[in-house]
Every structure is written in C-alpha cells, then in structure tokens.
Amino acid sequence: MSANGSSGAAPRVLVAETDSMDRLALLKSLTERGGCVARGTASTVEALRELKDTPYDAVIADLDFDGGRLITALEGVFRELPVIIVTDRDDGGAASRFIKKGVCEYVVKDVERRYLLGLPHTIQQAILQMKMDRALRETMREIERSNQALEQFAATASHDLQSPLSNIEMAGELLGPLLEPMGEKAQHLLTLIQRSARKMRALVQNILKLSHVGTRVPALEDVDLGEVLGEVLGDLEAQVRQSGARVHAGALITLQANRTLAYELLLNLVGNALKYSRPDAAVEVAIAGEAVSDPEVDGLGQAYAITVRDNGIGFAPELARRLFEPFFRVHEKHCEGTGIGLAICQRIAEAHGGRIWAEGRPGEGAAFHVVLPLRQRREVKSSVA
Ligand SMILES: Nc1ncnc2c1ncn2[C@@H]1O[C@H](COP(=O)(O)OP(=O)(O)O)[C@@H](O)[C@H]1O
Ligand SMILES: [Mg+2]
C-alpha cells in the first residue's frame, strides 16, 4: 500500500467518491488538467485491493464513501500514503481531527465544483510533503542509529580499558618498595607512570559518562534543584574549604528532569568554578536561578535559567563555545583535568531540551548559564524512534 515515489512520473491517484457526478468531474479534472493517472473505485473492498496491488501515490476519498468505512480502514496508513478527504460537511472540528491523525487535506465541496481547481496542486504538495517527511524520518533514524553505535563503541572501549589500567595501577603500587633501593630517578619514573594512570582512569571514566548521557533523558521526575545543589556543595566541601571560597547559593526551584544528570551538571559547573580560581583573589562563587522565557528551549519557552558565576581566571571570550568540546582545555597547566566535564554538561542540558553557554574574560571570572525547560516534552523526543 505504499506510494511509488518515482519522481517525475504522473501521480497515480485513487478516487473513492460516492456521488457519481462528482466522481466523473474529479477523474476528468485530475487526468485532463492535473496530469494524474486517476482511477475510480466503487467499494471499500475494491479500494483496499487496488491499494494493495498497485503503488498509488495518493487517495482522494469522500468522507462518507461506503458509509465512512474506507476512511476508517485507511486510518492506519494516513502517515504513509497521502489521503485527501473531500466532503459536503463543512465541519472545522472534524477537519482538524483528521489533519491531526495525518490526513493531508480536508476539502469542502462547493456546488460549482470550484474545489476541483485546487486539487491537483493539493495532491502534488501532499505527495512532496510525504516524501520529505519520509526522508526526514529515515535520516533521523540513521542519525540515531549511528549515534547509538558510536556511544556503544565509546562505552565498550572505555569499559575494556579499565581492566588493563587496574593492572598498571596495581603493578605500580607493588613496584614502589622494590624500586626504593634504585634511587630517585626510578622513583620519579614510577610517579610519572602512576600519575599517567590516574589521568587515564579519569579520562576513561569521563568518556564512559559522556557516552552514557546519550541524547535522551532516561527517567524523569520532579527534581528539587536546591536540594541537588546542597548535595553538590556537600560533596565539594573539601575543595570549598581548601580554596577558602565563599559560596553564595541562591534559592533554586523544582523542575522536571533526571536527578542524577542534574547533579552531574551542577557538580561540574560548581567544581569548575572552584577549580579555575585566581591565586591572588579570595574565591567567590555564586549560584542563582530565575524563571525565564526562552523560545530556543523545548517546552513552550517556559524555562528556568541557572547561572554559576565565579571571579576566577576566566577565559578569552572567543573560546567560550570551544570549552564545551570534549578534551578542549584552556588552562592545561593550571590544574589537572580531562576536558570532558563541560561536554557532559552540554549533553545533559540538550538531552533535557535545554541549552548551555559560557561568558568570561581573562582574569575577570566566568559565568556559565544553563536554561532548562520547566517540563519535558517526552513524546516529542521519542517520536524519532
Ligand atoms: N569556571 C571556569 N573558569 C575558567 N575556565 C573554565 C571554567 N570552567 C571550565 N573552564 C575551562 O574549560 C575547560 C574545559 O572544562 P571541563 O570540560 O570541565 O574540563 P576540565 O575541568 O576537566 O579541564 C577547562 O579546562 C578550563 O580551561
Ligand atoms: Mg571540569
């Protein structure tokens, strides 16, 4: 029952019209003026058989054809085959219901049959639209498949790297006392091996995390961001104390999100704010939230902006976008890191239908803004599959 999709060929149209005069007029108009190959049908059974045996590009069906049975029978294929309903009933409610179900057009007949004039164009448009929709769906599926394959690859590779890494770490520990009599140089080399192993472990774990975030949010719940921030600050207590930072935590609201990912997001941003501090200034970190309307964010623009601001080393404004690329680090020398934290943050924001960006100036601090929708449009995200 699928359209032939051949470009350039005359569209093949099946016409299911109850009124014989209307049917004749329709067929004549479609073939003579519309350049279509049109064929009439007399019953639902015959129409369905025709559609099964012949690759039609579109169907024009009277709403009441065969007591409404044909339209009911076609409901399952509205999204695969362009169906145009013609009817005497000027009923806006019914029209929008059918359009929602996937019918291409709901055409109300007029006694002078002026509606016939526009039909060939309507058919062409419907066929084109259906082709584009199909191509788009296929591309989305392809992207989804290749994303999944990539994520699976990253997850497997990083998972498999963990066990040889553990061996290196363990061997390093055992080597320590054995190398003692061999002097400073040997100790130094061992320290280098151990530091590299630690760095690699952090990298592997972060790549694993990044690949796990995926493009969709797993379980959703009402998340009290204030509570999550409290937990983050508790877990960063050692860093806060060490840096002597003054942290101003504003009140945050509850919104729909994945709790684990929300935690990961705030942990990275607040962790960075503490980490990329200036040695010559008392560290100040401020976290604040406010309701905003953001048309770029899913969820009808009703959104919430969280800002994490610091007075640290900052960065050149032209690098603001690049910070979110995996492995990109500006302050390589300043402290250890993997360069993946902000990439994870971006994935988390986007998987929630939100966005994230950074502002900064060298030596003047940085601000990271995340805007998340208040509620998640689940059905929109999963309709791709
Ligand atoms: N608050 C900040 N102030 C200045 N630079 C920052 C800040 N947060 C992140 N950056 C810069 O962005 C880079 C990437 O950050 P991130 O992805 O968290 O990786 P990591 O912290 O492991 O280096 C950091 O290396 C740093 O150069
Ligand atoms: Mg970081």
CA of 273 to the centre of ligand 2 (A): 9
Name the closest-CA residue to atom 13, ligand 1. Answer: 329
Closest CA to 225 of 285, 272, 267: 267
State which amino acid sits at residue 271: G
Reduced to 3 states, what is the DSSP secondary structure of residue 264?
A: helix
Q: From the CA of 202, give the closest atom in ligand 1.
A: 22
Q: What is the pLDDT of residue 6?
A: 45
Q: Where are the beta strands (DSSP E) in the chain?
A: 12-16, 37-40, 58-62, 83-87, 105-108, 221-224, 246-249, 254-257, 284-293, 302-310, 355-361, 365-373
| 93 Cβ contact partners less than 8 Å away, ≥ 6 residues apart | none
Closest CA to 161 of 217, 202, 133: 202
Q: Which CATH superfamily is domain 12-141 in?
A: Response regulator (3.40.50.2300)
Half-sphere exposure of 324 (CA within 13 A, CB side): 19
Using a 6 Å cutoff on CB, does residue 274 contact ligand 1? no
Domain ranges of the chain: 12-141, 215-385
Q: What is the pLDDT of residue 215?
A: 67
**CATH match for 215-385 among 3.40.50.300, 3.40.1280.10, 3.40.50.1820, 3.30.565.10:** 3.30.565.10
* Two domains, one topology: 12-141 and 215-385: no
The tens-digit pLDDT sequence of the chain (385 residues) is: 444 444 568 999 999 998 889 999 999 999 998 899 999 998 999 999 999 999 999 999 999 999 999 999 999 888 889 999 999 989 889 999 999 998 999 999 998 999 999 998 999 999 999 889 889 999 999 988 888 888 888 888 888 998 999 999 999 999 999 998 998 999 999 999 999 999 999 989 888 888 888 766 778 999 999 999 999 999 999 999 999 999 999 999 999 999 999 999 999 999 999 999 999 999 999 999 999 988 888 766 789 999 999 999 999 999 999 999 999 999 888 888 999 999 999 999 999 999 999 999 999 999 999 999 998 876 433 333 2
Write the CA distances from 264 to 17, 213, 350, integer angstroms.
60, 10, 14
Using a 6 Å cutoff on CB, does residue 340 contact ligand 1? yes
Pairing of strands 221-224, 254-257: antiparallel
Q: Does residue 335 contact residue 243 with C-beta atoms inside 8 Å? A: no
Reduced to 3 states, what is the DSSP secondary structure of residue 369?
A: strand
Phi-psi region for residue 183, left (φ > 0), alpha (ψ -120 to 50) or beta? left
CA distance 194 to 171: 10
Using a 6 Å cutoff on CB, does residue 361 contact ligand 1? no
Using a 6 Å cutoff on CB, does residue 313 contact ligand 1? yes
Q: What is the pLDDT of residue 297?
A: 85
Using a 6 Å cutoff on CB, does residue 264 contact ligand 1? no
CA of 268 to the centre of ligand 2 (A): 6
Using a 6 Å cutoff on CB, does residue 339 contact ligand 1? yes
Which residue from 274, 307, 313, 323 has its CB within 8 A of the most atoms of ligand 1, so it is best to mutate?
323
Name the closest-CA residue to atom 24, ligand 1. Answer: 329
Using a 6 Å cutoff on CB, does residue 312 contact ligand 1? yes
